[in-house]
Structure 1
Amino acid sequence: MTAFTINFDAIVQITDEHFAQLCRANPDVKFERTTKGELVIVAPTGGETGSYNSELNADFVIWNRQTKLGIVFDSSTCFKLPNEALRSPDVAWIKNERWNELALEQKQKFPPIAPDFVLELMSPSDYLSDAQAKMQEYIANDVKLGWLLNRKDHSAEIYRPNQPVEVLKSPATLSDEDVLPGFVLNVQSIW
Protein backbone atom coordinates (compact mmCIF):
# COMPACT_ATOMS: atom_id res chain seq x y z
CA MET A 1 0.00 0.00 0.00
CA THR A 2 1.32 3.38 -0.92
CA ALA A 3 1.77 5.78 1.98
CA PHE A 4 2.01 9.56 1.78
CA THR A 5 3.80 11.51 4.50
CA ILE A 6 2.92 15.11 5.26
CA ASN A 7 4.89 17.35 7.62
CA PHE A 8 2.71 19.95 9.36
CA ASP A 9 5.43 21.21 11.75
CA ALA A 10 5.63 24.61 10.07
CA ILE A 11 1.92 25.13 10.72
CA VAL A 12 0.89 23.08 13.75
CA GLN A 13 2.07 20.25 15.97
CA ILE A 14 -0.33 17.31 15.73
CA THR A 15 -1.04 16.23 19.29
CA ASP A 16 -2.54 12.88 20.25
CA GLU A 17 -5.94 14.58 20.61
CA HIS A 18 -5.64 16.23 17.18
CA PHE A 19 -4.70 12.87 15.71
CA ALA A 20 -7.70 11.18 17.35
CA GLN A 21 -10.04 13.91 16.06
CA LEU A 22 -8.60 13.58 12.56
CA CYS A 23 -9.14 9.80 12.63
CA ARG A 24 -12.73 10.18 13.88
CA ALA A 25 -13.50 12.81 11.22
CA ASN A 26 -12.08 10.57 8.47
CA PRO A 27 -13.07 6.99 9.38
CA ASP A 28 -12.42 5.70 5.87
CA VAL A 29 -8.77 6.81 5.92
CA LYS A 30 -5.95 5.01 7.72
CA PHE A 31 -3.49 7.36 9.40
CA GLU A 32 -0.23 6.88 11.28
CA ARG A 33 2.06 9.45 12.88
CA THR A 34 5.84 9.26 12.82
CA THR A 35 8.11 10.00 15.74
CA LYS A 36 8.84 13.36 14.04
CA GLY A 37 5.13 14.22 14.16
CA GLU A 38 4.60 13.71 10.42
CA LEU A 39 1.20 12.49 9.35
CA VAL A 40 1.24 9.31 7.27
CA ILE A 41 -1.77 8.62 5.06
CA VAL A 42 -1.87 4.94 4.16
CA ALA A 43 -3.84 3.83 1.12
CA PRO A 44 -6.28 0.96 1.65
CA THR A 45 -5.11 -2.50 0.66
CA GLY A 46 -6.32 -4.27 -2.44
CA GLY A 47 -8.65 -7.22 -2.19
CA GLU A 48 -5.96 -9.90 -2.35
CA THR A 49 -3.80 -8.34 0.39
CA GLY A 50 -6.90 -7.64 2.52
CA SER A 51 -7.93 -11.27 2.26
CA TYR A 52 -4.47 -12.51 3.25
CA ASN A 53 -4.38 -10.05 6.17
CA SER A 54 -7.73 -11.38 7.35
CA GLU A 55 -6.54 -14.99 7.12
CA LEU A 56 -3.35 -14.20 9.04
CA ASN A 57 -5.28 -12.40 11.75
CA ALA A 58 -7.70 -15.35 12.02
CA ASP A 59 -4.79 -17.73 12.63
CA PHE A 60 -3.63 -15.59 15.55
CA VAL A 61 -7.15 -15.22 16.95
CA ILE A 62 -7.73 -19.00 16.87
CA TRP A 63 -4.39 -19.69 18.58
CA ASN A 64 -5.04 -16.98 21.17
CA ARG A 65 -8.54 -18.28 21.95
CA GLN A 66 -7.02 -21.67 22.67
CA THR A 67 -4.08 -20.43 24.76
CA LYS A 68 -5.68 -17.34 26.34
CA LEU A 69 -2.18 -15.83 26.63
CA GLY A 70 -2.91 -12.34 25.34
CA ILE A 71 -4.87 -10.02 23.11
CA VAL A 72 -4.81 -9.97 19.28
CA PHE A 73 -5.29 -6.74 17.31
CA ASP A 74 -5.99 -6.09 13.64
CA SER A 75 -4.63 -3.39 11.35
CA SER A 76 -7.21 -0.83 12.45
CA THR A 77 -5.58 -0.58 15.91
CA CYS A 78 -3.11 2.26 16.37
CA PHE A 79 -0.50 1.92 19.14
CA LYS A 80 1.40 4.81 20.69
CA LEU A 81 4.99 3.60 20.80
CA PRO A 82 7.54 4.84 23.36
CA ASN A 83 9.05 7.16 20.70
CA GLU A 84 5.61 8.87 20.38
CA ALA A 85 4.92 7.39 16.92
CA LEU A 86 1.41 6.10 16.33
CA ARG A 87 1.60 2.87 14.30
CA SER A 88 -0.89 0.25 13.07
CA PRO A 89 0.69 -3.14 12.29
CA ASP A 90 -1.32 -5.60 10.19
CA VAL A 91 -1.39 -8.03 13.13
CA ALA A 92 -0.33 -7.31 16.71
CA TRP A 93 -0.37 -9.33 19.91
CA ILE A 94 0.18 -8.30 23.55
CA LYS A 95 0.58 -10.57 26.58
CA ASN A 96 -2.32 -10.39 29.03
CA GLU A 97 -0.12 -9.21 31.92
CA ARG A 98 1.10 -6.19 29.98
CA TRP A 99 -2.32 -5.33 28.52
CA ASN A 100 -3.96 -5.56 31.94
CA GLU A 101 -1.51 -2.98 33.34
CA LEU A 102 -3.15 -0.31 31.18
CA ALA A 103 -6.01 1.81 32.50
CA LEU A 104 -9.40 1.43 30.79
CA GLU A 105 -9.07 4.88 29.20
CA GLN A 106 -5.67 3.91 27.74
CA LYS A 107 -7.17 0.75 26.26
CA GLN A 108 -10.02 2.71 24.68
CA LYS A 109 -7.81 5.28 22.95
CA PHE A 110 -4.49 4.61 21.18
CA PRO A 111 -2.91 2.21 23.67
CA PRO A 112 0.43 3.60 24.89
CA ILE A 113 2.20 0.28 24.61
CA ALA A 114 4.44 -1.53 22.17
CA PRO A 115 2.98 -4.91 21.20
CA ASP A 116 5.00 -8.00 22.08
CA PHE A 117 4.59 -9.16 18.48
CA VAL A 118 3.85 -7.45 15.16
CA LEU A 119 3.36 -8.75 11.64
CA GLU A 120 3.43 -6.69 8.47
CA LEU A 121 2.31 -8.17 5.14
CA MET A 122 3.66 -6.18 2.24
CA SER A 123 1.21 -5.01 -0.40
CA PRO A 124 2.32 -5.04 -4.07
CA SER A 125 2.79 -1.25 -3.98
CA ASP A 126 4.84 -1.17 -0.74
CA TYR A 127 8.49 -0.22 -0.80
CA LEU A 128 10.67 -2.81 0.93
CA SER A 129 12.94 -0.16 2.46
CA ASP A 130 9.94 1.60 4.06
CA ALA A 131 8.59 -1.67 5.46
CA GLN A 132 12.01 -2.61 6.83
CA ALA A 133 12.40 0.81 8.47
CA LYS A 134 9.01 0.38 10.12
CA MET A 135 10.03 -3.05 11.43
CA GLN A 136 13.26 -1.60 12.84
CA GLU A 137 11.20 1.12 14.52
CA TYR A 138 9.00 -1.50 16.17
CA ILE A 139 12.01 -3.39 17.53
CA ALA A 140 13.69 -0.16 18.73
CA ASN A 141 10.46 0.56 20.66
CA ASP A 142 10.25 -2.62 22.73
CA VAL A 143 8.51 -5.02 20.33
CA LYS A 144 9.94 -8.47 21.08
CA LEU A 145 9.31 -10.13 17.70
CA GLY A 146 8.38 -8.88 14.24
CA TRP A 147 7.64 -10.72 11.03
CA LEU A 148 7.72 -8.95 7.66
CA LEU A 149 6.17 -11.08 4.93
CA ASN A 150 7.00 -10.24 1.33
CA ARG A 151 4.84 -12.11 -1.16
CA LYS A 152 6.81 -10.77 -4.16
CA ASP A 153 9.89 -12.83 -3.34
CA HIS A 154 8.36 -15.34 -0.91
CA SER A 155 10.50 -14.16 1.97
CA ALA A 156 9.97 -13.68 5.67
CA GLU A 157 12.17 -11.27 7.60
CA ILE A 158 12.37 -12.00 11.32
CA TYR A 159 13.13 -9.08 13.63
CA ARG A 160 14.26 -9.52 17.25
CA PRO A 161 15.91 -7.10 19.69
CA ASN A 162 19.72 -7.07 19.61
CA GLN A 163 19.90 -9.62 16.79
CA PRO A 164 20.53 -9.31 13.07
CA VAL A 165 17.49 -9.63 10.82
CA GLU A 166 16.94 -13.24 9.81
CA VAL A 167 15.72 -13.68 6.22
CA LEU A 168 13.98 -16.92 5.25
CA LYS A 169 13.20 -17.77 1.62
CA SER A 170 9.88 -19.55 1.04
CA PRO A 171 9.48 -20.89 4.58
CA ALA A 172 6.61 -23.33 5.07
CA THR A 173 5.96 -22.16 8.63
CA LEU A 174 6.99 -19.50 11.14
CA SER A 175 7.06 -19.84 14.91
CA ASP A 176 8.79 -18.50 18.01
CA GLU A 177 8.29 -20.36 21.28
CA ASP A 178 9.72 -17.53 23.39
CA VAL A 179 7.21 -14.89 22.29
CA LEU A 180 4.35 -16.96 20.79
CA PRO A 181 4.28 -20.27 22.72
CA GLY A 182 2.67 -23.04 20.71
CA PHE A 183 1.89 -20.86 17.69
CA VAL A 184 2.84 -22.03 14.20
CA LEU A 185 1.90 -19.93 11.18
CA ASN A 186 1.51 -21.80 7.89
CA VAL A 187 2.82 -19.25 5.38
CA GLN A 188 2.63 -21.60 2.38
CA SER A 189 -0.94 -20.40 1.80
CA ILE A 190 0.14 -16.80 1.14
CA TRP A 191 3.00 -17.52 -1.24
Structure 2
Amino acid sequence: MSTATHEHGETESDIAFHLKSFLRQHKLGKVMTGEVGIFIRRNPDSIRAADVLFISHERLQQVQSKSYLDIAPELVVEVLSPRDSWVDMAEKLEEYFSIGVLQVWFANPRNKTLQVFTSVTDSVLLRGEERLPDIAFLPGFTLAVSDIYS
Protein backbone atom coordinates (compact mmCIF):
# COMPACT_ATOMS: atom_id res chain seq x y z
CA MET A 1 0.00 0.00 0.00
CA SER A 2 1.33 3.41 -0.88
CA THR A 3 1.16 6.34 1.49
CA ALA A 4 -1.44 9.09 1.19
CA THR A 5 -0.67 12.61 -0.01
CA HIS A 6 -1.06 15.55 2.32
CA GLU A 7 -4.13 16.61 0.31
CA HIS A 8 -5.69 13.19 0.90
CA GLY A 9 -4.92 13.36 4.63
CA GLU A 10 -6.33 16.84 4.98
CA THR A 11 -9.57 15.89 3.21
CA GLU A 12 -9.92 12.79 5.39
CA SER A 13 -9.30 14.86 8.50
CA ASP A 14 -11.76 17.60 7.52
CA ILE A 15 -14.60 15.14 6.85
CA ALA A 16 -13.93 13.31 10.11
CA PHE A 17 -13.82 16.62 11.99
CA HIS A 18 -17.27 17.70 10.75
CA LEU A 19 -18.80 14.30 11.47
CA LYS A 20 -17.19 14.06 14.91
CA SER A 21 -18.28 17.60 15.84
CA PHE A 22 -21.88 16.70 14.99
CA LEU A 23 -21.70 13.39 16.86
CA ARG A 24 -20.30 14.99 20.02
CA GLN A 25 -23.64 16.78 20.35
CA HIS A 26 -25.94 14.04 19.07
CA LYS A 27 -24.30 10.87 20.43
CA LEU A 28 -25.45 8.66 17.54
CA GLY A 29 -22.31 6.59 17.12
CA LYS A 30 -18.61 6.72 16.32
CA VAL A 31 -16.43 8.16 13.56
CA MET A 32 -13.31 6.19 12.68
CA THR A 33 -10.40 7.07 10.38
CA GLY A 34 -7.11 5.68 9.22
CA GLU A 35 -7.86 2.78 6.88
CA VAL A 36 -10.29 1.02 9.23
CA GLY A 37 -10.62 -2.63 8.18
CA ILE A 38 -14.08 -3.93 7.32
CA PHE A 39 -14.77 -7.59 6.53
CA ILE A 40 -16.35 -7.86 3.09
CA ARG A 41 -16.33 -11.69 3.05
CA ARG A 42 -15.40 -14.43 5.49
CA ASN A 43 -13.69 -17.77 4.80
CA PRO A 44 -11.69 -16.77 2.89
CA ASP A 45 -11.50 -13.34 4.46
CA SER A 46 -11.64 -10.24 2.30
CA ILE A 47 -11.06 -6.82 3.87
CA ARG A 48 -11.59 -3.26 2.67
CA ALA A 49 -9.99 -0.29 4.40
CA ALA A 50 -12.14 2.83 4.77
CA ASP A 51 -10.63 6.31 4.97
CA VAL A 52 -13.49 7.53 7.19
CA LEU A 53 -16.57 5.75 8.47
CA PHE A 54 -19.55 6.28 10.72
CA ILE A 55 -21.04 3.40 12.68
CA SER A 56 -24.04 3.78 14.97
CA HIS A 57 -23.94 2.62 18.58
CA GLU A 58 -26.53 -0.01 17.66
CA ARG A 59 -24.32 -1.56 14.97
CA LEU A 60 -21.15 -1.13 17.03
CA GLN A 61 -22.66 -3.22 19.84
CA GLN A 62 -23.04 -6.10 17.37
CA VAL A 63 -19.32 -6.18 16.45
CA GLN A 64 -17.73 -9.40 17.65
CA SER A 65 -14.32 -9.28 15.98
CA LYS A 66 -11.39 -7.88 17.94
CA SER A 67 -9.59 -6.90 14.71
CA TYR A 68 -11.70 -5.61 11.80
CA LEU A 69 -15.33 -4.56 11.76
CA ASP A 70 -17.53 -7.60 11.13
CA ILE A 71 -20.66 -5.43 11.04
CA ALA A 72 -21.07 -2.88 8.26
CA PRO A 73 -20.95 0.79 9.20
CA GLU A 74 -23.75 3.02 7.94
CA LEU A 75 -21.34 5.34 6.11
CA VAL A 76 -18.02 4.81 4.35
CA VAL A 77 -16.02 7.72 2.93
CA GLU A 78 -13.32 7.13 0.33
CA VAL A 79 -10.95 9.99 -0.47
CA LEU A 80 -9.94 9.58 -4.09
CA SER A 81 -6.35 9.76 -5.20
CA PRO A 82 -4.91 10.12 -8.72
CA ARG A 83 -4.10 6.40 -8.82
CA ASP A 84 -7.73 5.30 -8.18
CA SER A 85 -9.45 3.88 -11.24
CA TRP A 86 -13.20 3.92 -11.76
CA VAL A 87 -13.14 0.11 -12.06
CA ASP A 88 -11.59 -0.17 -8.58
CA MET A 89 -14.00 2.36 -7.09
CA ALA A 90 -17.02 0.64 -8.66
CA GLU A 91 -15.84 -2.63 -7.11
CA LYS A 92 -15.60 -0.95 -3.70
CA LEU A 93 -19.12 0.42 -4.09
CA GLU A 94 -20.52 -3.00 -4.89
CA GLU A 95 -18.73 -4.59 -1.95
CA TYR A 96 -19.74 -1.93 0.57
CA PHE A 97 -23.41 -2.01 -0.42
CA SER A 98 -23.42 -5.81 -0.50
CA ILE A 99 -22.59 -5.95 3.23
CA GLY A 100 -25.16 -3.36 4.32
CA VAL A 101 -23.43 0.01 4.13
CA LEU A 102 -26.15 2.64 3.63
CA GLN A 103 -24.10 5.41 2.01
CA VAL A 104 -20.71 5.77 0.38
CA TRP A 105 -19.10 9.13 -0.27
CA PHE A 106 -16.32 9.66 -2.79
CA ALA A 107 -14.45 12.84 -1.86
CA ASN A 108 -12.29 14.14 -4.69
CA PRO A 109 -9.75 16.75 -3.53
CA ARG A 110 -8.55 17.38 -7.09
CA ASN A 111 -11.84 18.83 -8.29
CA LYS A 112 -13.25 19.58 -4.82
CA THR A 113 -16.38 17.46 -5.19
CA LEU A 114 -18.28 14.99 -3.08
CA GLN A 115 -20.24 12.22 -4.74
CA VAL A 116 -22.87 10.71 -2.43
CA PHE A 117 -23.98 7.18 -3.30
CA THR A 118 -27.13 5.70 -1.80
CA SER A 119 -26.76 2.57 -3.94
CA VAL A 120 -24.39 1.32 -6.62
CA THR A 121 -26.45 3.15 -9.26
CA ASP A 122 -27.88 6.16 -7.38
CA SER A 123 -25.69 9.14 -6.58
CA VAL A 124 -25.56 12.89 -6.52
CA LEU A 125 -22.43 14.93 -7.29
CA LEU A 126 -21.99 17.98 -5.07
CA ARG A 127 -19.59 20.91 -5.28
CA GLY A 128 -19.01 24.37 -3.88
CA GLU A 129 -21.77 25.61 -1.59
CA GLU A 130 -24.03 22.62 -2.32
CA ARG A 131 -25.00 20.76 0.84
CA LEU A 132 -25.42 17.09 1.62
CA PRO A 133 -28.97 15.81 1.22
CA ASP A 134 -30.79 14.69 4.38
CA ILE A 135 -29.29 11.55 5.88
CA ALA A 136 -31.74 9.33 7.77
CA PHE A 137 -29.07 7.80 10.02
CA LEU A 138 -27.55 11.25 10.80
CA PRO A 139 -30.69 13.36 11.32
CA GLY A 140 -29.88 17.06 11.33
CA PHE A 141 -26.36 16.69 9.93
CA THR A 142 -25.60 19.26 7.27
CA LEU A 143 -22.39 20.05 5.45
CA ALA A 144 -21.47 22.20 2.48
CA VAL A 145 -18.85 20.70 0.19
CA SER A 146 -16.84 23.93 0.46
CA ASP A 147 -16.46 23.25 4.21
CA ILE A 148 -14.50 20.11 3.39
CA TYR A 149 -12.05 21.83 1.06
CA SER A 150 -11.60 25.18 2.84
TM-score (norm 2): 0.83
Partner in structure 1 of residue 4 of structure 2: 45
Structure 1 unmatched ranges of 5 or more: 1-41
Distance 1:126 1:155, change over 3 A: same
Distance 1:90 1:175, change over 3 A: farther
Partner in structure 2 of residue 101 of structure 1: 62
Partner-residue secondary structure (3-state), 2:105: strand
Structure 1: 4+ residue segments shifted above 6 A: none
Structure 2 unmatched ranges of 5 or more: none
Among candidates 73, 82, 92, match of residue 134 of structure 1 = 92
TM-score (norm 1): 0.67
Report which of the two structures shows the higher radius of gyration computed on alpha carbons.
1
1:82–1:112 contact (8 Å) kept in structure 2: no
Among candidates 67, 70, 74, match of residue 116 of structure 1 = 74
Among candidates 58, 77, 90, match of residue 51 of structure 2 = 90
Partner-residue secondary structure (3-state), 2:142: strand
Among candidates 96, 115, 125, match of residue 168 of structure 1 = 125
Identity over aligned pairs, percent? 27
Partner in structure 1 of residue 135 of structure 2: 177
Aligned Cα RMSD in Å?
2.2
Distance 1:126 1:164, change over 3 A: closer
- Measure the CA separation in 2 of the matches of 1:86 and 1:57: 21
2:76–2:105 contact (8 Å) kept in structure 1: yes
Which amino acid in structure 1 is aligned with residue 134 of structure 2? D
Matches within 5 A, 1:27-38: none
CA displacement, residues 118-172 of structure 1 (integer Å, 9 cap, x when unaligned) = 11111233223322321222112210111112233444322224x7322324252
- Measure the CA separation in 2 of the matches of 1:98 and 1:179: 12
- What is the count of residue pairs matched by the alignment? 146
Q: Identify the structure with bigger relative contact order (alpha carbons < 8 Å, sequence gap 6+).
A: 2
Partner in structure 1 of residue 104 of structure 2: 146
- Measure the CA separation in 1 of the matches of 2:104 and 2:135: 13
- Measure the CA separation in 2 of the matches of 1:85 and 1:179: 26
- Measure the CA separation in 2 of the matches of 1:182 and 1:173: 12
In the alignment, is residue 61 of structure 1 matched against residue 20 of structure 2? yes
